[in-house]
A and B are shown apart, each in its own frame.
Chain A
Amino acid sequence: MKQFNKSVIPKKFWAFLFLVSGICTASHSFAQDTDLNTFYPNQGQRLSDLMIQKALVPGLVDGYLPGIVLSRKNLVDKQTLKIRELKTQFAINSPTTPNYLAVLADDWVATGRQVLPSYDAQEMAAKPKIDPILDAGDSLFIPERRNSILYLGERKPCLVEHQPLVTIQAHLDSCFPKPNWYSFGQGFDKVWLVQPSGKIQVVKVGFWNASELVSPEPGAVIWAPQRNSSWTEELSSQLAQVLATQIGTFDFHAKAAADSETTKSLGSPDVTEESMASQILQRSEAPRDFGVRPTRSDWGNIGLMQTPNARMAEEGTVSVTASRVEPYSRYSFIYQPFEWMEAGFRYSIITNRSFGRADAGDRKYQDKSVDLKLRLLKESAYLPQIALGFRDIGGTGLFSSEYLVASKAAGEFDFSLGVGFGNMASGGGVSNPFSFINDDFRVRPAPDVGAGGQANSSAYFRGDASVFGGVEWQTPWRDWIVKLEYDGNDYSNEPLNNPQPHESHLNYGVVYRVNDIMDLQVGVERGNTFGVALSIQENIAKYSAPKLSDPPSIRVTSGKRPDTLDWQRTLKLIEQQTTWNVTDVEKRGAEVRLNVKNSDVTYAAKAANKASAVLHESLSEDVRWFSYKFDQRGLDVAEHIVDRDAYVTSETQLVPEQTTREPLVAIEPVSVPYSPVIQDKEPWYSGDLGLAYQQVFGGANGYLFEFSLVASGELQFNESTWLQGAVSHVLGGTFDNFSQTEESRLPQVRTNFRQYAVASDTKLSNLTINHVGELSQDHYYSLYAGYLERMFGGIGAEYLYRPFGSPVAFGIDINRVRQRAFEQDFNFQDYEVTTGHLTTYWDTGFEDILAEIKLGQYLAGDKGVTVDLSRIFNNGVQIGAFATKTNVSAEDFGEGSFDKGIYVKIPFDALFTSTVSGVADFTWNQVTRDGGARLGRPLRLYSQTQLRSPRVLGLEAYK
């Protein structure tokens, strides 16, 4: 194939010194090639080494490098079994297995192909994790470049010539045409694309779901089952996996050609060089799909302009939308905790009505509301996506509406049609479709909102209905989307006796996607009103920050280990790499154990990997196991054990998935004797200085904020008893304008937050003495006393039962507390209360939901229950909601009727360019009232024992 020039000229440089020199010194002797396109490695040779020796690199090689086939001796048996299983399936499903496919399968033999993430030897050389270490029986084959794509249909194969800009859909239409356009059940929804590299991609190709532009490369094979095929997804996937091992070595194209029609050339006369140039060059970036992508309405949820549709954002998305359509200004915060649920809250400002309180000055009327939308049915080829939604369910109900809406995509258009009730159906003129069930549905009772905040479910889906809907068109310019909608509301019955002039039910507008996170929408609504909305959205489940400021990672190498060891230096390096605090090192047989004190890292597996890299580079070969025992305030909560050999293998070479073993496991710490190796001296104090930010909005004073300097510190008396405190001093802000005072029928335990905010500039935020202990395995307790939080001080205790790795835990806390002085000094007021809860923690395993249910007495002496549900994503981001219902009536509770809120917690580690502990917590309480108020305890055993969670090793930075 190629004359090999032995003058490989390696150069070393600082970052890859070891790696490159390893390649340079590799043996240059190799087995004799039997085929010009086939190469054989020496035992233990790196693939990159073999390829560089043979000059098999881009720019020099003549064969088709992306189709490179690495055959591994140790994969042959496993693949033989897979082929046999597939053939058995073919036999079982013989009526549906195409004859030609069964014939082809007869000739398949196991190749042992290992799919490679890269075909570029020089990339592999820089990344050992993608560079396999080969055995003597392995081989490397460089196929010739092809210029055709083979489609495997359910009746026949079809060979097409590869042409730029011709899509898979066009190939399918040409290869397997429908008998007529209306043939039901014909067509394709998804295909299994096997690229020459062996990479498998499932591509959506239906008119309704085409969402990704994936290009088959020349030489690709595509399995294309019909829409209503009897082939299961599992069987299709199994076939694709076998095809991936055959492609490159098995000559599909030649063997299938006998059954195929003549090779099709779909190069349309329209596809000229000029048209290709204009299509390629006009793109602002790499080609992307032109299907409709969800955009937001004026109300912040996914929809058209005034009306919602059934679409959902990507799960993990958080959005903020500001819109203005006279006389409303709306600020909406919408979350997508699950792919089937959208929820959020909104502040609506009615700018032609005043706030209505003497202390609000000329401030305009504000309304708070909560929205919820649930997907009931996912779109399929013939059925639309259907969603059920509620608007303004948690506020005063001014805009209270319910709706059922369907969305159906067709190419670049997305149609929606729905029926709405309540405010969105004012003047709708459609009689209630549920009235055949009960006549009560004909009339919508006036909202009995009382103090607001109640679900007001007696009005749901009642009264006149209205049809709404419209279409979104993704224009050929990817940043522009056009919207046209029919709005069922005639604005004759707007709240606060505020009817709006209305000329048309038709609204139209355009969305400009400013960038990946920002959309600007402008349009004309009601036939006479200009509307504008700006949305910013981010998928926080994909948050991660490159660790530019961290010390460079230690590269894991193989080979002989050092003879001597400087433990002090090694521990210092581990602490730098992980941010751990290692107190001592012990040894037992072939295991070295590090005791880690008060670890608060977000990504435990990453820390264990980094520590293992340091230990592997430092310790002699006889150490086979590294273990890390976590001591949280004297409690031995977990131990993470690393199998050194498996770890090194996973870090230094590409191993076939079928042959890997897990290098890291978490276990309950074991009480067996270890020999001490070294002990590190621990400081008895620690401290921190930082900035704090507080804000208040949605009240009569509008938006208020304050910056403070916070100094916090801790003195440790022993490993399980310590004093901690924090002092804050106001640096600046607008809290001086905080004049809104609240009244309450309950003891004022939270509604006097204004007094706490403004009484003093310097405050003792908390000062407590704490002690924790372990009653027996799985049983923990804590005792604490002092100024527990900014409004209360006293004493308390907690007990927690948490078995290791269990999704369920139980806790009890009881506290006797007294209200602190507004100045937050050392003084107290007269109010005293006993508060505490029985808490059940359940990591449900369903959609990553953590449920916390609390039952007990709250700060105002009221008794009730709190339910807190949250989704925890793999990167540690948590989106949740809570609600508390106590024996306080809605009237006594005041505005909002009961306590509820939404929160987002983002680990700092996902935000910063350095590894840092802690969480950014954004909590929105609809209204701060006294009912259902919980004590802010300084110490929570559930948090202290977080390393016992079954999902702790699964948390990782988003890649």
Chain B
Amino acid sequence: MSVANPSPSPGNALSVPMRPAATLRLIQAMADTPAAELNGTLQVDGNPGGVFHLAHGSVVAVDSPGAPSVATILLRTGRISEADWAAASGASEAPGEVAAQLAARTLIGPAELQAMCLMTVLDGAFAVTVGRIDDCRLVRDEATPWPKGQDGVEPAGLFGETERRLRALAARRVPVSPYWDRMVRTGLAANSLSGSEPGLRRRILERVNGRRSCRDIAFLLGRGLYAVTMEVAGLLGEELLALSSRAAVPAPQEEPPAERQSGKLPRRRRGASGITDSLPPPEPPPSLRLPFRLRPRNFGREANKPDERSQ
């Protein structure tokens, strides 16, 4: 369910200041635009960034690496099979056609699918605005192929709900970044898991392993980013989880280390590995030196944390 992004032209591309508030203002500004004139995309650069698809004045979809799409949710929750999705989405790439195909195959009802689409729009807007925003452009495209009857979210409503979600997250006792924070279970979590911890909380606790962010767990579970983030914030507040070391928030343009700024290549220090103190030097391959101390094969993994590749 995506739309081909037309190339922005000077006449219809609008640059705005690089602040989340600017994006929210732009969404607000869209609300004042006559609905019939607003077709196209709002392309947000940043991390994770995303694309808001606009049709007839409403936001009908938001694509972002920060939040699961409808397809991800349907597939990860086992609601439909991969084969069914491929068959439905392979019939036509036009937006709205996938929904019709799914309904025709009685895989999911149109009302349920519509509700999921609206939910992912709200979640996608949260995912984009809670991240870093560098720039955004409104690209008008009158030829957007979204069907006329496609329901969406009015920009004003989307603006209000996104702001409410951002405030709600910030107001939690332990605010958590959905992208940069990673969590570990505390001793209390073991008791909770052995008891009757319900639903989403249990599934989150089971999947926390010190490597995953809220966003990663949302994709694993096929649940919304906002729902998972708020549950994690609650678990942190109850001290069932604790924050692991926070990843450094990537800057828009990472500064190279001082050594590289000076134009010198980084150099390994001779003997820094200590290999010469403990082991005879191994016979090196002809073209690659690996002068590192050998370690057990589980190095680089977080110890005693369960992992899961699939459900």
Chains A and B belong together in one complex: no
Residues of B that sit less than 8 Å from A by CB: none
Residues of A that sit less than 8 Å from B by CB: none
